[in-house]
A and B are shown apart, each in its own frame.
Chain A
Amino acid sequence: MSFEKNFPKWWQTIKISWSNYTAYRMNFFLQIIGPALVFFFVKYNLWSSIYDGDAHMTIKGYNLDQMITYHIWSMIVGLVAQGMSALNLAEDIRMGRISSYLIYPIDFWEYHTAGFIAFETLQLFISALTITVIAVFGFLPDITFTSLIFGFTYCVYVSLFWFILQYLTGIIGFWLEETWILRVILSILTAFLSGAIIPLELYPEWLVTLLNYTPFPYLTFYPIKMFMGEIGFFPKGYLMLGAWMVILLFLNKWIWKKGIRMYTAAGM
């Protein structure tokens, strides 16, 4: 099908998804933005307590200001990169709701990808607003336009990786009753191993060496370093995540093919 033919249905789906996300604004705030803010609040207090007001103290090269800056960027990376779209996928499968997509002119994958685009657009807007507010209060003195461009571009790429991974955990719902457990395991592992909780410099060296062979540091630690201006364009990160995305895409296709054969359309 041509782009002209496809575009209107994608555009409409994106618009509908946008409306769905913003329909319950308080709920959206509590579910998406609230956790990031509270997470930052805890870390701000914790690190202030660790440094105990000593401006000259450094831990693995970080003074208090740099540590706080690290966690501000960690919050922004969390907002932009770690999307929460495709959350109801498993429920859709279990309740037999995906039957409708089988006869729609837009397929299941396209529908959720459109939803992801809407969510990501919303998150980019919220992140830009958050950065502006934080910068106005003087917490991000070394912010540059170039680091913002590198950081945001890479984060959008990371968000695509997250979306493909979450889609995969969702369609495992063909076999598994509860897929939210897989998602929570993934988020616990990622928060711990990606440098979202504390900088990876604080981890034992053997663990950091090992982690560099996994996708984890490329999801949070390196994007933070981009925003902090310590890394520019990062081909290694793009290649590493790109390779994982190709593997995950093949897996998604294979699982969908296998899963749809045993789909019973419950409730039809």
Chain B
Amino acid sequence: MNSVRHYLSIYKKFLATSFSVQLSFRTSFVLLIVMDIFFYVSTLATVDFVYDHVSTIGPWQKEKLMFFISFMLCVDHLHMTLLSESFWVLARQIRTGELDFILLKPVHSIFSIFFRYIRPSSMTNTVVAWGFLFYYGSKVPLSTLSWVLLPLFLILSFMLLAIVEIIISTAMFWMTEGLGINFLRMQIQSLARWPDFVYKVLARRLFTVLMPILLIGSAPVRFLLDLKSWDYVAGMVAAIFVFGFLMFKIWSHALIRYESASS
């Protein structure tokens, strides 16, 4: 309990410093908000335009797919706010050896590396992202239980995405230049932004079992749409435990590999 309180107090400091840093560059702050809104609108509009010409994509009509997309946009919003920037910083820290100072700190390195940089500008877009989710959720429509479970599933999906991305980012320790890994990470996100039925059998199996990115959106949304589809959610929870365990193992191994460029 003490340790949780300790980590929360550190996180509070991270949040405060991130706010002060971002608010000192106000143009960037505003541009980040604009960037996110453009992304949300263009993603939803693209699907909307396709549905002007077809009645279904796979087994889903427009409302269901729009709900799926807005669910993934909310996961993406959490990711952009809480995690995204840290991956780009990590690439630089490994290359320059700045990571030395972070590894010396008396907290777990995953915490101090991946939760250090928060984007307050993205926080302001919560209304937009959640607005889309509520709108399309009411169009589907969701049951009361599904509405209650929705925030929990968003957090679980975010956790799974974070775990997969941290595992991928460990490859930066083996490569001198980590920028490419960040681009790979972004591609993984774009694969996860579509429901699993879009992919052919082999790709679906690969991205559900070996690298469970399709579970991030498909598992919770299928369950929220049909509460009998609990097997997908069980798969997602299992994936969080298995890949979470793997993440810690691979991370420790990657740290051994770190060469400390500044030393």
Contacts and interface: CB of A to CB of B under 8 A. Distances in A.
Q: Do A and B come from one complex?
A: yes
B96 to A, nearest CB: 12
Interface residues of B, number: 37
A264 B190 CA distance: 40
B28 interface: yes
A178 B26 CA distance: 11
Contacts of A192: 38, 42, 45-46
Contacts of B187: 34-35, 38-39
A45 B202 CA distance: 12
How would you classify the secondary structure of chain B's contact residues: helix, strand, loop or mixed? helix
Given A30-B181, A49-B58, A185 B46 contact: no
Interface stretch (B99-107, B171-179, B231-239, B244-252): B171-179
Interface string B28-70: 1001101100110010011001101110011000000000000
Interface in A41-88: 41-42, 45-46, 48-50, 52, 59-60
Nearest to B197: A49
A182 interface: yes
Residue among A39, A175, A188 facing the most chain B CB atoms (10 A cut-off):
A188
A213 B58 CA distance: 36
Contacts, number: 99
B203 interface: yes
Interface residues on A, range: 35 or more
Contacts of B50: 50, 198, 202
Given A29-B180, A49-B57, A60-B53, A42 B191 contact: yes
A242 B32 CA distance: 30
Interface stretch (A20-28, A102-110, A220-228): A20-28
Nearest to A207: B49
Contacts of B175: 24, 26-27
Nearest to A184: B35
A48 B46 CA distance: 17
Nearest to A30: B180
- Considering the complex of A and B, which 6 residue pairs feature the smallest CB-CB distances, nearest first? A30-B180, A27-B180, A192-B42, A38-B187, A27-B177, A181-B31
8 contacts: A30-B180, A30-B181, A34-B187, A38-B187, A41-B191, A42-B191, A46-B194, A198-B46
